[in-house]
Amino acid sequence: MTSDPLVVNLHAEVRAVLADPRFTVDPVPRPPQAPEAPTVAWLRGAVGRFAEGAEHAARRAAGEAVLAGLDPGTLRAEAFRLASPEGGPLPCPVELIPVLVLAVALGVPAEDGPRAVEAVAAVAPLYLPVPGADDGGAAREAADAGVALLSRLLGEPAPERLAVLAGLLAQACGATAGLVRAALAAGRADTVNTRGTVEGLLARTLRDDPPVRALRRRAPGGREVVLDIAAANRDPRAFPEPGRAPGDEHASLTFGAGPRACPARRVALALAAGTVEAVLR
Ligand code: HEM
């Protein structure tokens, strides 16, 4: 028997579900072995995001170790440089500058950065997946080709390492692009220039127009639970004066919470800040 998903939209309840390990993600089975050419289905089965228990913990830790080696200040400066109009034509659409900088920081040669961006942009919608993105045909083929190309651009790492690096890039893509787009729109609309610092602009954007709008879990007993992050961020009980509060990115649930919370908050904010700052100056 199937039942409609339970939608949770109160800030405290969303946070409680995210903190409770009895609410699980639907695990994607581990592939029996790495295929000859890695595919997006292989990638999904090999990352922490779609694993549970000890497997999730180990794969998450591998990603955190890679993230710990990245310097947010350097990432921000590089995003700023590449997104600056003085730097000449943009190497890729501006909202994908964070992915470009991240790909190079993870080992893609700088001259191959734009190709890596195209590969990640093809992989990302089928990795998460975005509803309607998997047409079973051209989009899936492009995503599979994207994973294989990323492997080559990253120097053909061992499958476990490829899963960590490609997983980080696929996770980063849609969310950072959404944040950059929304922050640029908010910054441009702000003609009286009340936006203050770029950090404030990003924090308000993350709370009010979150690039990740909903998360999903399976409740004990099997019912699907949809966590409405956008609504929780506007919950009047958590944010009594949403119009006036200075945008508190730690109170907003846009990076998730609990054992599966985004491990890349600092990296994401640095990449978005450098990009947005270069454009809105
Ligand atoms: C504005 C940008 C970003 C937002 C809003 C965001 C948001 C999130 C959220 C809400 C989750 C939790 C998903 C869940 O609980 O089901 C998550 C997980 C994750 N994010 Fe991010 N993210 C962003 C950028 C990034 C970047 C740049 C990276 C990599 C460099 C990244 C890597 C990850 C990974 C690996 C996970 C899975 C963690 C796990 O399953 O334990 N994210 N992200």
**58-116 pLDDT, tens digit each:** 999 999 999 999 999 999 999 999 999 887 899 999 999 999 999 999 999 999 999 99
Ligand 1 centre distance from Cα of residue 142 (Å) = 23
Distance CA 232, CA 253 (A): 7
| Ligand 1 pocket check for 255: Cβ under 6 Å | yes
| Whether 99 contacts 172, CB under 8 Å | yes
Q: What is the mean pLDDT of residues 186-215?
A: 84
The answer to whether residue 251 scores a pLDDT higher than 80 is no
Ligand 1 centre distance from Cα of residue 216 (Å) = 13
| Whether 98 contacts 272, CB under 8 Å | yes
Closest ligand 1 atom, residue 267 Cα: 27
Ligand 1 centre distance from Cα of residue 80 (Å) = 22
Distance CA 40, CA 174 (A): 16
Backbone angles phi, psi at 22, to 5 degrees: -70, -20
Residue 192: the pLDDT is 53
The answer to whether residue 266 scores a pLDDT higher than 60 is yes
Residue 244: the pLDDT is 45
Q: Best substitution site from 206, 262, 275 to test ligand 1's pocket, by max atoms within 8 Å of Cβ?
A: 262
Pairing of strands 214-218, 6-8: unpaired
Backbone angles phi, psi at 8, to 5 degrees: -110, 125
Residue 201: the pLDDT is 92
Q: What percent of the chain has pLDDT over 70?
A: 91
Ligand 1 centre distance from Cα of residue 73 (Å) = 19
**How far, in whole angstroms, is CA 115 from its chain's centroid?**
19
Residue 87: the pLDDT is 79
Confidence of residue 254 (pLDDT cuts 50, 70, 90): very high
6-280 CATH pick, 3.30.565.10, 3.40.50.300, 1.10.630.10, 1.10.10.60: 1.10.630.10
Question: Which residues are registered as beta bridge partners of 228?
Answer: 214
